[in-house]
Structure 1
Amino acid sequence: MSVTELHGDRAPDSPATPPDAARPPRRPAPLTALLTRLHFYAGVLVAPFLLVAALTGLAYTITPQLDAALYGDKLTVTAVGGQPRPLADQIAAARAAHPDGTLTSVQPGAGERTTQVVFAQEDLGDRQHTVYVDPYTAEVAGQLTTWFGSTPATTWLDDLHRNLHLGDVGRHYSEIAASWLWVLALGGVVLWWRRRAAGRARARHLLVPDLSAGRGVRRTRGWHATTGVWLTVGLLFLAATGLTWSRYAGANFGAGLDALRAGTPEISTALDGAPPATGGGEHKHGATATAPAADPATYDRVLGAARAAGLSGPVEIAPAAQDGAAWTVAQTDDTWPVAYDRVAVDPAGGTVTARSDFTDWPLLAKLSKLGIQAHMGRLLGPVNQVLLAALALGLLCVIVWGYRMWWQRRPTRADRRAPLGAPPARGAWRGTPWWALLVGVPMVAALGWALPWFGGTLLGFLVVDALAGLLARRRRSVPVSPAPAGS
C-alpha cells in the first residue's frame, strides 16, 4: 500500500474530485447552531424595537443644543452682572408673575444661568410650572411648563424615546429593546468569534471587515459583525442602564438594591434626631412634595448655610413637605466630576442638621447614578453626546445590514424562489450536551424572571417555533394519494 493510499489522499493519476464532494459542508456545533437560530429570530423580530429606540435616542442626543436654540432667552441671562440679588427678591418676582401653585423648589442662578423657581399645580399632573428669573436684576425672563427641570422640547423627545407618547403601554417597546439588546450583542460576538476559530475568518477580521470578499452576503456579514464587535461595550452599557429605568425590570432592579441596602441613601429631614429613612433603588427626577408657604427670606438663610457647609456649584433648594422639618439643599452638577452632596438645614436657625455626601453612597448606587447620567448624555458633556450619537448610528447600520443579509440569503432559483432567506435549521437543542442544558435552562429562567419582557418574548419565540415545526412535520407526513388509473 502506498503512502498516498494510507493517508487517503488522491493519487496523482486519480480523477479530479469536485471541491464540494471532497469537503462536505461543516455542521455547526449544537451550541453554535442553537445560538445562531436564537440570534436570527431575535434579530428579525426585535430589531424593529431597536430601530425605533436608536432613532429616538439619536434625536435625544441634541437636546442641550435644542434647548439653547429654543429657550436660550429663558435659560440664560442677557448680560452677566455683579452680585446676584437676594433669592427673596427673585422669588417675589416669580410669584408676582405666576401667583398660582405651590413653590416646590428653587435653583439659584449663577454665571449665565437664570434662577429657576418651580411651582406645582394639580392641573399639571406630573408636570411643573417653572419661572426663570435673571439673578442680577430680579426680572422674569420667561415661563415654561417643565418636567422635573426638563424643557418642553426635551420632555417631548424623552417621552418619545421612553414610550412613544403612549404612556405605560408604550414603555413596553423600550423595555423589550433593552432586554434583548445585550443578548443580540453578546450572541453576535460569540458567533463571530467561533466563526474565526473555525478557520472561516482571519483574526484581524474580528475588528476589520473583510474587504476582499465579493459582493453578497459574505461582505454584508463582515460589516454587520465587525461593526457589532466595535459597538458591543457601548450597547451593553445602554442595555444595562436602560433596564434600570424600565417598568418591570427596573422595579426588580430597585427591589434588589433595597435588599442589598445599596440604593440611594435618604437624608433625614427630622429636627428631633430621628434616623433617616431606608434608601431605595427608585430613580427620581426631583422632589414632588408640596410644601407650605414659607417666607422668601428663608431661602437665602438656607442657601447661606449650605454654602458654608461646602456645597458649591449649582444646587436645588427644596422646602420641607410639612412644618417642623428641615429643608434640603442638593448639588445638581451632572457633568464629570459630578457633585451630588446634600445637606438638611433647619430653616429657623440656619444650621445644618444632616448631611449625605456622594462619596459615602454605596458602590451600586454610585454606578447606577453615573450610568443613568451617561445614558442621558449629561455626564461627559458634548463628548458624551457624540459617543451616544455614534452608538445610535452604528446600531442603525448593524440592523440594516442584518436585514440585508436576510434578503441576500433568499433562494433565487426558479424552482426554489422565496421572498426572504430561510431561518437556520431547527432541532439544535437536541444535540446540546446535557450539562449545558442543566446549567443553561435555570439560568435563562432566572433571567426571564428578572427581565420579564425578555422571558415572555423568548417563551413566545419557542412556542411559535415549536408550532411551526409541528405543522411542517405534519405536512411532510401526509400521504400523497396515487393518481387514478388511466389518468
Structure 2
Amino acid sequence: MSVTPEVTAPAPASTPVPRRANGGSAFGALLLRVHFYAGLMIAPFLIVAAVTGLLFVSTPTLDRIIYADELLVADAGGDTVPVSQQLAAARAAHPEGTITGVRVKGGEWTTHVDFSVPELAAAEKVHTVYVDPYTGAVTGQLTTQFGWTPLQAWLDVLHRDLHLGPAGNLYSELAASWLWVIALGGIVLWWRRRRTVRKLFAPELSARKGVRRTRGWHGAVGAWLLVGLLGLSATGLTWSNYAGAHFGLLIDQIKGGTPSVSTALTGAPGAEAGGHHGGGAVPATATDPDGIDTAVTVARDNGLDGPVSIVPPADARTAWKVSQIDTQFPERLDSVAVDTATGTVTDRVDLADWPFTAKLTNWGINAHMGLLFGPVNQIVLAALALGLLCIIFWGYRMWWQRRPTRDGRRALAGAAPARVDWRTVPAWAIVTGILVVFAIGWALPLFGIPLAAFVVVDAIVTTVRDRRGNGRGDRAEVPVSPAPTGS
C-alpha cells in the first residue's frame, strides 16, 4: 500500500522587526553608538583645538624669529652687570609705571623687567622692557601677558576661546570633556575586534582598500596616541571654566594646592598660589626697589640657580620674593623670601614641600603647553595634534565609505549604528550606569549635559520610529552601518 507523502505548507514569513542590538552585545552596541555620535559631533571642535594647539606649541620657535631683538642677546658670555644696573636702564627707558617683577634667565636670554600701567591692568597685561645682561643696554619693549610675547598670548587665547570670550571657552572645554570618552571608547571597540596587543597597534594592511583598511589605520594610530590624548584631555580640563572650578574645589578640600612662600616680615602665613597658567597678581612697589642685588645674591647662596623671577616688596613690611622658573627641568621650582635689610631668608618653600597633586598639576599644565623639557615636548605635542587630525579624517572617511551605493538606496554617508534594546540590559547595570554618568556629568558638565541631551533625543526618535513602524505593519528598518570612529 502506497502512502501519499504529506505536503507541508510553507511556514509563514516571520514579521521583520527593527534591527536592535540585544543580549550580551548591549554594552558594545551602546558604546559603538555613543562613540559614533560623539566622534561625529565633537570632531569639529577637536579639529579646531588641534590646529590652534599646533600653532601655540610653535611659538617658542616663532618667538626666536619674530622677537629676536628683544629676547636674545647679541653676544652671550662673560660677566653680567649687576641686576640693579639692568633695572636702572629699564626704568630710564620706561619712566612711568610700577615695577612688578624681574626675570633673570641667563645664557642667551635678555633680562625681562615688567611695569604695570593702569590702562593695561584690566587685561592682566604689562609693559616688559628687555635688557642685555652683559652690557646693560635696553634691547626693546613689548606688551606682554603672564610673561608671554604678544604672539604667544594671542595664540593662547585663540586656543582657549577663539577670541570669543566666555562663550568661546565652551568650545575648548567641550572638546576636552569628550576627548577622553572618545579615545577610551575607541580603544575598547578596537580591542574587541583585534583581541591581542600586537594587533592592537598594527593597522590591517592585508585588508583590501575600503572601510577595513581605513578602520585599521584609524584604530592603530588611535592606540598609539591614546596615552597622549588622555593627558591632553585631563590637563586641558584642569583650568577650564566649569570642570576646572570643580577640580579647584577638590584640590582645596584635600589641601593639594601649590604653596606660596610668605613675604610677610611679621611672620604672617602665605596663601596658596592660583591663577590661570600659574599667573596671578603680584605685589606692586610704590617706588623703584632697592636691594635687588642683595635679594638675588642671597637666593643664589641658598641654592636657587638657573632662571629666577624676582618680585619686589609691596612695602616696608614685606620681603623680596625670588622663585625658580625653569619649566624645562621641573625640579627647579623653589622659592625664598629675602629680607634685604638683614640679608637673610625669612621663609622658604621648595618643590619637595609641594603636595603631589600640586606637582602633578604643574607638570601637566607645562606639558600641555609645550614647556616641559623644551623642544622634545613641543615635538610630541605636534605629533599628537597631527595624529588626532588623521584619526578624525579616517573616521569621517569610514562614515562616507559605509554609505549605501546601490540604485534606489544611495546616500551621502553611512547610517548610525544599531540602537540598544534596553529591555535586555539588567536593571542593576542600568542603575549603576546612571549613577556613574551623573557623577561624571557633575564633575564635567560639558560632558554630562550633551550626553543627557543625546539620550533623550535618541529615546524620542526611537519611540517615534517604533510607533510608525508598528503602524505600517512593523516593517524592518534599513540595516545600519557601524560607526566611523573606532569600531
Both proteins in one fold, TM over 0.5: yes
Amino acid at match of 2:43: A
Amino acid at match of 1:425: A
Amino acid at match of 2:452: L
Q: Please state if 1:48 is matched with 2:41.
A: no
- Give deviations 1:272-305, integer Å, cap 9, x for gaps: 223333x366544334234123444321121111
Structure 1: segments with no counterpart, 5+ residues: 1-23, 481-487
Aligned to 1:12: none
Pairing partner for 1:288 from 271, 281, 295: 281
* Map 1:340-359 → 2, pairs under 5 A: 340-359=333-352
What is the CA–CA distance in structure 2 between the aligned matches of 1:238 and 1:339, rounded to whole Å? 24
Pairing partner for 2:190 from 189, 192, 216: 192
Q: Please state if 1:457 is matched with 2:457.
A: no
Do the aligned partners of residues 348 and 395 (structure 1) sit closer, same or farther apart at CA in structure 2, a change above 3 Å counting?
Answer: same
What is the CA–CA distance in structure 2 between the aligned matches of 1:77 and 1:203, rounded to whole Å? 51
What TM-score does the superposition give when structure 1 sets the normalisation length?
A: 0.88
Do the aligned partners of residues 109 and 55 (structure 1) sit closer, same or farther apart at CA in structure 2, a change above 3 Å counting?
Answer: closer
What is the CA–CA distance in structure 2 between the aligned matches of 1:71 and 1:338, rounded to whole Å? 28
**Cα distance, 1:67 vs structure 2:** 0.4
Contact 1:105 1:117 survives alignment (8 Å): yes
Runs of 4+ more than 6 Å apart: 24-28
What is the CA–CA distance in structure 2 between the aligned matches of 1:31 and 1:426, rounded to whole Å? 11
Root-mean-square deviation (Å): 2.0
* Map 1:295-314 → 2, pairs under 5 A: 295-314=288-307
Contact 1:331 1:342 survives alignment (8 Å): yes
Aligned to 2:309: 316
What is the CA–CA distance in structure 2 between the aligned matches of 1:410 and 1:375, rounded to whole Å? 38
Once the two structures are overlaid, the 10-residue window that deviates more, 463-472 or 298-307, is: 463-472
Pairing partner for 1:73 from 69, 76, 86: 69
**Cα distance, 1:92 vs structure 2:** 1.6
What is the CA–CA distance in structure 2 between the aligned matches of 1:64 and 1:140, rounded to whole Å? 22
**Cα distance, 1:169 vs structure 2:** 1.4
Contact 1:306 1:329 survives alignment (8 Å): yes
Aligned to 1:40, the other structure's residue is in SS state helix
Aligned to 1:467: 460
Aligned to 1:252, the other structure's residue is in SS state helix
Q: Please state if 1:234 is matched with 2:232.
A: no
Contact 1:33 1:428 survives alignment (8 Å): no
**Cα distance, 1:167 vs structure 2:** 1.6
Amino acid at match of 1:366: K
Amino acid at match of 1:439: T
Once the two structures are overlaid, the 10-residue window that deviates more, 72-81 or 174-183, is: 72-81
What is the CA–CA distance in structure 1 between the aligned matches of 2:423 and 2:37, rounded to whole Å? 18
Amino acid at match of 1:427: V
Contact 2:274 2:280 survives alignment (8 Å): no
Structure 2: segments with no counterpart, 5+ residues: 1-18, 474-487
- Give deviations 1:409-447, integer Å, cap 9, x for gaps: 111122222221111122344322333223221111110
Once the two structures are overlaid, the 10-residue window that deviates more, 98-107 or 33-42, is: 98-107
Pairing partner for 2:435 from 420, 425, 442: 442
Contact 2:211 2:398 survives alignment (8 Å): yes
What is the CA–CA distance in structure 1 between the aligned matches of 2:378 and 2:175, rounded to whole Å? 21
Contact 2:131 2:140 survives alignment (8 Å): yes
- Give deviations 1:133-181, integer Å, cap 9, x for gaps: 1112211100011111111111111111111111221111110111000
The number of equivalent residue pairs is 452
- Give deviations 1:84-122, integer Å, cap 9, x for gaps: 112222112111111222110001242211110001122
What TM-score does the superposition give when structure 2 sets the normalisation length?
A: 0.88
What is the CA–CA distance in structure 2 between the aligned matches of 1:100 and 1:430, rounded to whole Å? 73
Contact 1:327 1:347 survives alignment (8 Å): yes
**Cα distance, 1:234 vs structure 2:** 0.6
**Cα distance, 1:337 vs structure 2:** 4.7
* Bigger RCO of structures 1 and 2 (CA < 8 A, at least 6 apart): 2
Aligned to 1:297, the other structure's residue is in SS state coil
Pairing partner for 2:119 from 103, 117, 123: 123
